[in-house]
Structure 1
Amino acid sequence: MKAADTYVRVVDKLSGYVGICAMYLIFMMIGILLLDAVTRNVIDIPLHWCIEAAQFTLTAYYFTGGPMTLRDNDHARMDLLYERLSARGKAVLDLVFSGCLLFYLGVLLWGAVSSTQYAVQTGEKRFSMWNPSMIPIKVLMCCCIALMIAQAIALVIKDIKTLRQPA
């Protein structure tokens, strides 16, 4: 069980670090949008890359914030029945839904890896005036989905540990 505890501790810490980076991405996005507003409306020099850069930053925010959200149990949940359950009942229900989550994330990662391979092979760029490469955001997507899978496995370990405790 010591290896499982170490795994959970390492993944929780990594998710926390990535989540902290995610929090700062909001400030970056605000700065980009502020720059766009000032250059377009005040000095009348529109920067065509600003809106797309803000979109990429928001996408990165969602992907990087996911593992920490899962770790801290801050995701959306229907609590009508869940809150009435015992700790063991919650652990059983969490295990069922963690299985569904892991299946979903596995399919998502499979698609993300395929999409990233395509982007690398073709040098995919976004069709726009700015024409940015899609490779960095797709690589980030794959890394963050993999971390979400690792975090979901850590949650499974925590729930199994809860079930193994004497009643």
Structure 2
Amino acid sequence: MKHLLLLARCIDGLNARVGRLAIWLVLVMTVISAGNALSRYGFNLSSNAMLEVQWYLFSAVFLLCAGATLLNNAHVRIDLISSKVSARTRNWVDVVGIIFFLIPVAVMIAVMSWPEFLASFMQNEQSSNAGGLVRWPVRLLIPVGFGLLALQALSELIKRIAFLTGHGPDPLEKSPSDQGATA
């Protein structure tokens, strides 16, 4: 179990770093969006490439942060039900959900999207918009994002099994610093 928990910490570190990088993408996206609005309404100038960059960055933030969201236990959860059951039951529900739903779906999407990325890359697929961008970078975000989500799901599974077998703390328990951030 010690080696699995080490693997989980490495995966957690990877997704935490990706999440911190995405914070900067949000800033870049905001600056580009403000620049687009200023140039469009202030100078009557428009650029399809800059509009597409905004969408690409939004896609990057959304897809690449799925694993970081799971790491931080910030995904959608039915608290009305989970708050009424024991910690062991909550972790068992997560184990079942991770094994039978999250990992299979994340891996399936990552695997099925890979050929689409390769075809786009090989054809150097371009946007149909005048002055638009190449499409393969945004298509690469799908398998990478779902790959990171699948890895984080594996990490969360390891941590929940460690808790259920008495080898680790409850991964669903909020630390005092987490509670202050959400209050």
Alignment of 1:82-101 (within 5 A): 82-99=82-99, 100-101=101-102
Q: Which residue of 2 aligns with 1:76?
A: 76
Structure 1 residues 91-100 or 141-150, which shifts more?
Answer: 141-150
Segments of structure 1 that go 5 or more residues without pairing to the other structure are none
Amino acid in the other structure paired with 1:38: L
Structure 2 unpaired stretches of 5+: 168-183
Q: Tell me the alpha carbon deviations over residues 48-98 of structure 1, each in whole angstroms, 9 at most, x when there is no partner.
A: 322111111100110121111000110011122211221111111001111
Contact 1:67-1:151 at 8 Å conserved across structures:
yes
TM-score by length of 1: 0.93
User: Are 2:70 and 1:58 aligned?
Assistant: no
Q: How does 1:1-167 map to 2 (within 5 A)?
A: 1-99=1-99, 100-165=101-166
Over residues 119-155 of structure 1, what are the superposed CA-to-partner deviations in whole Å (9 max), with x where a residue is unaligned? 1222212211123111112223222211111100001
Structure 1 letter corresponding to 2:13? K
Alignment partners' CA distance in 2, 1:130 and 1:103? 38
8 A Cα contact 2:48 2:129, kept in partner: no
CA contact (8 A) 2:95 2:160 kept: yes
Q: Within 1, Cα distance between the matches of 2:131 and 2:15?
A: 32
Distance in 1, Cα, partners of 2:39 & 2:81 = 52
Quick check: 1:109–1:142 contact (8 Å CA) kept in 2?
yes
RMSD across aligned positions (CA): 1.4
In the superposition, the TM-score normalised over structure 2's length comes to 0.85
CA distance in 1, matches of 2:85, 2:141: 37
Percent of matched pairs sharing the same residue:
23
Q: State the Cα distance separating 1:35 from its structure 2 match.
A: 0.9
